[in-house]
């Protein structure tokens, strides 16, 4: 998808060291909270509630142990883009005690090492993948390898960021069914969409001006024949104070 005219491509370790030194790379931290919630709280905004303009495409919709498939995170319409994403695979069973555990491993094409990175989530190696820069993309393609043991039916889930204040959590793929399993019982497990606590949301809101209380102070200085006369007029008008005074009289 991305072409780099280089004879060799640096490994992710080399690029990670570059990122640590120059502080120019992006992507979510691999903390337990972030890996479980998949919510970018550092953005200080709620997730978008309307239908996302993105989708997760898979090269196959069934799996068995050690299967490998291509996974595409992409914009649905031409001209649409995203600047970041965080992708995992989870069990399609909300009652499972480890439903939030990311499964399998992701592999990134070496030509995309500058743009994408695999991450270790909840002690599972390369169990998530995300952006490395904030370059505008219309599509990102990675490979996913299934675990050594069957995990039941699965699905891919992502948080996709367009701008600092515009992102979607809980973007899901179709269900990936376990090969040879007869039951078709599966479910999507909802992820967080609202920042918590709500009062730290910095989404701009209309400014409402009130005029219940107003204080003005005017200072005028006059000079006449070497003498200085200082005239100070101080006027205070307060609706709230007047009301409080009247209430005290009534009581």
Domain boundaries, the chain: 12-200, 213-250
pLDDT, mean over the chain? 76
Could you tell me the end-to-end alpha-carbon distance of the chain, in angstroms, rounded to an integer?
78
So what's the pLDDT on residue 246? 40
Distance CA 71, CA 168 (A): 18
Per-residue confidence band for 243, with pLDDT thresholds at 50, 70 and 90: very low
So what's the pLDDT on residue 88? 98
So what's the pLDDT on residue 44? 86
- For residues 156-184, give the mean pLDDT: 94
Given a cut of 50, whether residue 248 has pLDDT beyond it is: no
> CB atoms < 10 A from the CB of 132, how many?
22
Bridge-based pairing of strands 177-178 and 62-63 is parallel
- For residues 12-27, give the mean pLDDT: 50
Ramachandran category for residue 230: left, alpha or beta (phi over 0 → left; psi -120 to 50 → alpha): beta
Cβ atoms of residues 61 and 176 within 8 Å: yes
Most confident of 8-22, 47-61, 179-193: 47-61
So what's the pLDDT on residue 196? 74
Distance CA 87, CA 71 (A): 10
pLDDT digits (tens, 9 = 90+) for 92-134: 999 999 999 999 999 999 999 999 999 999 989 999 999 999 8
So what's the pLDDT on residue 192? 87
So what's the pLDDT on residue 249? 40
3-class secondary structure, 177: strand
Given a cut of 70, whether residue 64 has pLDDT beyond it is: yes
Q: CA dihedral defined by 97, 32, 39, 188, rounded to 10 degrees?
A: -20
Q: DSSP state, 4?
A: -
Strand order in the sheet with 154-163: 116-121, 124-131, 84-91, 154-163, 166-172
pLDDT digits (tens, 9 = 90+) for 195-206: 876 544 444 443
Tell me the pTM: 0.69
Residues β-bridged to residue 232: 219
Cβ atoms of residues 88 and 37 within 8 Å: no
3-class secondary structure, 53: coil
Given a cut of 80, whether residue 235 has pLDDT beyond it is: no
Given a cut of 50, whether residue 49 has pLDDT beyond it is: yes
The better pLDDT of the pair 152, 249 is held by: 152
Does the CA dihedral 177-30-17-116 come out positive or negative? positive
Using only C-alpha atoms, the chain has a radius of gyration, in whole angstroms, of 28
Bridge-based pairing of strands 84-91 and 124-131 is antiparallel
Helix (H) or strand (E) holding 240: helix 239-250
Q: CA dihedral defined by 207, 209, 214, 215, rounded to 10 degrees?
A: 20
Given a cut of 60, whether residue 229 has pLDDT beyond it is: no
CA 141 to chain CA mean position, Å = 19
CATH code for the domain defined by 12-200: 2.60.40.4060
């Amino acid at each position: 998808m991305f072409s780099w005219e280089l004879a060799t491509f640096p490994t992710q370790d080399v690029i990670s060291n570059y990122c640590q030194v120059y502080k120019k790379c992006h992507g979510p931290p691999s903390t337990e909270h972030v890996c479980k919630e998949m919510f970018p709280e550092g953005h200080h905004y709620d997730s978008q509630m309307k239908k996302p303009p993105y989708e997760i495409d898979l090269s196959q919709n069934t799996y068995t142990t050690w299967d490998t498939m291509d996974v595409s995170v992409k914009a649905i319409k031409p001209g649409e883009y995203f600047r970041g994403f965080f992708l995992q695979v989870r069990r399609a069973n909300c009652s499972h005690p480890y439903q939030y555990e990311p499964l399998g491993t992701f592999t990134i094409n070496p030509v995309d090492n500058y743009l994408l990175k695999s991450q270790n989530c909840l002690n599972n190696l390369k169990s998530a993948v995300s952006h490395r820069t904030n370059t505008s993309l219309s599509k990102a393609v990675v490979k996913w390898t299934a675990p050594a043991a069957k995990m039941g039916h699965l699905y891919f889930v992502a948080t996709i960021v367009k701008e600092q204040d515009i992102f979607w959590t809980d973007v899901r793929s179709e269900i990936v069914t376990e090969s040879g399993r007869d039951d078709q019982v599966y479910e999507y497990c909802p992820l967080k969409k609202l920042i918590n606590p709500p009062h730290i949301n910095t989404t701009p809101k209309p400014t409402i001006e009130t005029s219940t209380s107003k204080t003005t102070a005017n200072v005028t200085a006059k000079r006449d024949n070497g003498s200085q006369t200082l005239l100070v007029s101080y006027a205070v008008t307060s609706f709230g104070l007047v009301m409080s005074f009247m209430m005290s009289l009534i009581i």
